[in-house]
């Protein structure tokens, strides 16, 4: 069993204000896997004070960009060396299947590499060429750090969410307080160990597991200059209102209810091969999951049958087993939330194709749900409009291509989506019409060089690559 009795504040393991640890339970069998102390408002105050002093009086903001790149490259190397341990720990905490946590490790390297390249290529200070050749004034543009960043991340993919924020924030010269979910106290303490060995100056970063009340204390803190948040749209609205009152910078990566548009000429075999990765990754607890499947009337039952076959073929069970594809939900309340949505779908009149509100046989212990597919779903139903965050898919019929685009766009969200077609050029045309931050063609993976983020209620701002780095930068113009 893993135990952490101290908090990582300003780069130092520190006694917490509340010494009583939180007991971390396995979502698989509800056994105790660890204990970790949690941050309270007093600990947040100490972390913010350390970050404020490190930014205002320390060396990190003025460290040459190439040296900051070297430090973050060292962090990435330390993480790579412990990739297997990280994957296993996240599976234990979250119930995420081992295939998913292991497959995500190379992605973390690509994510970091894209940020590092952006930092190396960026002109941190440049002299603009005047538009008027006779001009006697020159403009010098500097890209500088914003200040103290509160990075608040969710539980479903902790290392990815953490690295997506702390790497660009630190590359830009900011100091950071990373607020993590209590469920991820163990894996994020491991991240703190890596941070302690990569060469960051004192005070530059803290890692605090904490509840929502303490999180609000952090984002409301007057000495925090920017909030970077990933999580629910409801929480994002609250954070945006706080940031608006204080006129502090904010970026939000929020929920999704993404549509996969299956065009009439799409290859059904390729669709079936990619569906489990695009729609059911991480036990369905993924904001980018394509949980609305849009199928043409003339192939509707064919697609419904294909989705049913894929879902029924996936093994549900112990996330440590190599043949498990779907593990448990992270907590009992999340398990009940998903089961309640399945009941809602039945009450709304959708056709239950497979699954249901019951628990899989033999998996009564732990937080398991039965992967479920609904057909004959109207896009106005709650199961088509609200983010369920579990292995529940809905198949919605459409009349023609314009109708498919209309349904795809008829959502409060706009984070991700997909188009399936034998004609890639035509698929691109349809993708351009979908109002969402990311669209994949025929199951292509999301890249890390391009911007990632959402339209509408799916958020503000972008992550990954140059766009993500730019989120943590202030522009200054000097004329001479």
First to last CA, the chain: 62
* Catalytic hit among 93, 198, 216, 287: 287
SS3 call for 352: strand
- pLDDT tens sequence across 386-407: 999 999 999 999 999 999 999 9
Q: Which pTM value belongs to this model?
A: 0.96
Question: How many other C-beta atoms can be found within 10 angstroms of the C-beta atom of residue 1?
Answer: 10
The pLDDT, as a whole number, for residue 97 is: 98
Q: pLDDT at position 294, please? A: 98
Does the annotation mark 253 as catalytic?
A: yes
Q: What is the pLDDT of residues 435-458, one digit of tens each?
A: 999 999 999 999 999 999 999 999
Percent over 70 (pLDDT), the chain? 100
Q: Which of 216, 253, 285, 463 is catalytic?
A: 253
Give yes or no: 399 in active site. no
Which tens digits make up the pLDDT trace of 82-98?
999 999 999 999 999 99
Q: How far is CA 182 from CA 119, 276, 315, 330, 454, in A?
A: 32, 29, 28, 12, 26
pLDDT at 226: 98
DSSP codes of every residue in 249-280: EEEEE-----EEEE-TT--HHHHHHHHHHHHS
Assign 137 a pLDDT band (cuts: 50, 70, 90). Answer: confident
The residue with tokens 């103290």 is: 148
Which tokens hold the place of 277? Answer: 């990765």
Domains and CATH numbers, the chain: 2-254+457-479 (3.40.605.10), 259-448 (3.40.309.10)
């Amino acid at each position: 069993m893993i135990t952490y009795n101290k908090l990582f504040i300003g780069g130092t393991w520190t006694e917490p204000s509340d010494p009583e640890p939180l007991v971390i339970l396995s979502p698989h069998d509800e056994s105790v896997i660890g204990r970790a102390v949690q941050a309270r408002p007093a600990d947040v105050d100490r972390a913010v004070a350390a970050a404020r002093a490190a930014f205002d009086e320390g060396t990190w903001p003025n460290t040459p960009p190439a040296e900051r790149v070297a430090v973050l490259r060292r962090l990435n190397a330390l993480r790579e060396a412990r990739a297997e341990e990280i994957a296993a720990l996240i599976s234990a905490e979250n119930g995420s299947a081992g295939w998913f946590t292991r497959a995500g490790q190379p992605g973390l390297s690509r994510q970091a590499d894209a940020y590092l390249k952006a930092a190396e290529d960026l002109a941190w200070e440049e002299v603009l060429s005047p538009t008027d050749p006779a001009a006697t004034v020159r403009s010098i543009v500097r890209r500088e750090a914003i200040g103290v960043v509160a990075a608040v991340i969710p539980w479903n993919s902790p290392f990815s969410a953490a690295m997506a924020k702390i790497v660009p924030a630190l590359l830009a010269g900011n100091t950071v307080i990373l607020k993590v979910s209590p469920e991820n106290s163990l894996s994020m303490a491991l991240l703190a160990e890596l941070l302690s060995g990569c060469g960051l100056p004192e005070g530059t970063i803290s890692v605090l597991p904490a509840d929502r009340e303490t999180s609000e204390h952090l984002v409301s803190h007057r000495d925090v200059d920017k909030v970077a948040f990933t999580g629910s749209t409801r929480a994002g609205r609250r954070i945006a209102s706080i940031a608006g009152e204080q006129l502090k910078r904010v970026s939000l990566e929020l929920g999704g209810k993404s549509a996969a548009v299956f065009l009439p000429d799409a290859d059904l075999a390729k669709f079936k091969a990619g569906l489990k990765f695009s729609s059911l990754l991480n036990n369905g607890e993924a904001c980018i999951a394509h949980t609305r499947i849009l199928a043409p009337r003339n192939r509707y039952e064919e697609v419904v049958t294909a989705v049913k076959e894929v879902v029924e073929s996936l093994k549900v069970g112990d996330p440590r087993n190599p043949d498990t594809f779907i593990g448990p939900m992270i907590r009992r309340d999340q398990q009940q939330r998903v089961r309640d949505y399945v009941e809602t779908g039945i009450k709304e009149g959708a056709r239950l194709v497979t699954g249901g509100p019951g628990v899989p046989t033999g998996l009564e212990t732990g937080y398991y749900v039965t992967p479920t597919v609904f057909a004959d779903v109207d896009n106005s139903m709650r199961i088509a409009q609200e983010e369920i965050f579990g292995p529940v898919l809905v198949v919605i019929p459409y009349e023609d291509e314009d109708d498919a685009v209309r349904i795809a766009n008829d959502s409060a969200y706009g984070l991700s989506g997909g188009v399936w077609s034998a004609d890639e050029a035509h698929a691109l045309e349809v993708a351009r019409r979908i109002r969402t931050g990311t669209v994949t063609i025929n199951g292509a993976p999301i890249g890390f060089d391009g911007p990632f983020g959402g339209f509408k209620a799916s958020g503000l701002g972008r992550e990954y690559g140059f766009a993500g780095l730019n989120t943590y930068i202030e522009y200054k113009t000097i004329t001479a």
